[in-house]
Amino acid sequence: MDKLIITAALTGAEVTREQQPALPLTPDEIARAAEECAQAGASIVHVHARRPDGTPTQDKAIYAEIIEKIRARCDVIVQVSTGGAVGMTAAERLAPVELRPEMATLSMGSVNFGDDVFLNHPADMAAFLAAMKEFRVRPEFEIFDAGMLHSLQRWLKQGVVDGPVHVDLVLGVPGAMAGTPESLMFLRSQLPPEATWTVAGIGAAQLPLAAMAIALGGHVRVGFEDNVWYRKGELATSNAQLVARVARIAGEMERPVATPDEAREILGIMR
């Protein structure tokens, strides 16, 4: 089994300071959170940018500042979001890819997202993939529903994408696949050959799905984007607190945590 890659999804586009007082919003806060998470065992940070007023943005300059500040503090793989926030245009969402980060997300289809719709037109998905090829950015394919995994299988069959792919199984978004062990086992059974996978459980699903992924040879994403709680009724104090718990569980389960360089090797990322 490969060493465990922990991704810290630090900020997201939807969570507010009212919901999570320790949410990192500014480039300095995001960089500090990234460093704390790297020290706690994360080898990837999934990054969303916010404007000074806290609203989500895909502004390239803000992403550039975040990446620069993270790099000044620690070695960790920076994965920018191309999901952005519901309602953004595809061009807007794609902007941070031009900064040539090591990784970026690529959502494999459209899905209801709470009271909204997260739209991913096939033509936009193809444009995102082309840009990631052009700027040599390793995609993490975001899978919210079973059909999205089948779309990825089609891309592989058509030769649009070369394997092995890396996927993130996002489970528990209201409107998408439930955050249950059964969902995870089903999606895992549908993975393309040699795919690496991580699981992002939303809310209360974060911890049990993380434990399952550790046991099954997958990887784990935690952080405020997906879950603001440490346990029922108790908010987490930082993203790093959530990372540290996963690292501790993995240690007890004899699954060592990957360094950023080991994660690059597992994911086939060339520096």
- 195 touches 167 (CB < 8 A): yes
Cβ contacts of residue 207 below 8 Å, gap of 6+?
Answer: 201, 245
User: Does 13 interact with ligand KMH (rule: CB under 6 A)?
Assistant: yes
Q: What is the nearest approach in angstroms of Zn ion to the Cβ of residue 168? A: 9
Query: Tokens in use for 99?
Result: 């900064």
Between 149 and 250, CB nearer to ligand KMH:
149
Q: What is the nearest approach in angstroms of ligand KMH to the Cβ of residue 254? A: 31
Q: Which stretch binds Zn ion (CB under 5 A): 73-81, 181-189, 194-202, 258-266?
A: 73-81
Binds ligand KMH by CB under 6 A, chosen from 26, 107, 151, 196? 107
Comparing CA positions, the residue from 215, 239, 208 lying closest to residue 41 is 239
Query: Tokens in use for 214?
Result: 């550790």
Cα 138 from Cα 200, distance rounded (Å):
18
Which of ligand KMH, Zn ion, none interacts with 113 (beta carbon under 5 to 8 A by kind)? ligand KMH
Q: Which stretch binds ligand KMH (CB under 6 A): 37-45, 77-85, 128-136, 255-263?
A: 77-85
Q: What is the nearest approach in angstroms of ligand KMH to the Cβ of residue 252? A: 30
User: Does 58 interact with ligand KMH (rule: CB under 6 A)?
Assistant: no
The secondary structure element, H or E, covering residue 47 is strand 44-47
Site for ligand KMH in 116-175 (CB under 6 A): 118, 142
Query: Tokens in use for 1?
Result: 């089994």
Cα 138 from Cα 141, distance rounded (Å):
10
User: Does 82 interact with ligand KMH (rule: CB under 6 A)?
Assistant: yes
Between 86 and 156, CB nearer to Zn ion:
86
Query: Tokens in use for 148?
Result: 């999205």
For residue 201, give Cα distances in angstroms to 13, 92, 95, 171, 232: 16, 27, 27, 5, 15
User: Does 83 interact with ligand KMH (rule: CB under 6 A)?
Assistant: yes
Q: What is the nearest approach in angstroms of ligand KMH to the Cβ of residue 61? A: 19
Which of ligand KMH, Zn ion, none interacts with 82 (beta carbon under 5 to 8 A by kind)? ligand KMH
Comparing CA positions, the residue from 79, 82, 84, 81 lying closest to residue 102 is 79
User: Does 81 interact with Zn ion (rule: CB under 5 A)?
Assistant: yes
Q: What is the nearest approach in angstroms of ligand KMH to the Cβ of residue 248? A: 26
Cα 259 from Cα 262, distance rounded (Å):
5
Comparing CA positions, the residue from 259, 166, 172, 165 lying closest to residue 210 is 172
Can you give the binding site for Zn ion, defined by CB under 5 A? 81, 83
Can you give the binding site for ligand KMH, defined by CB under 6 A? 12-13, 81-83, 85-86, 105, 107, 113, 118, 142
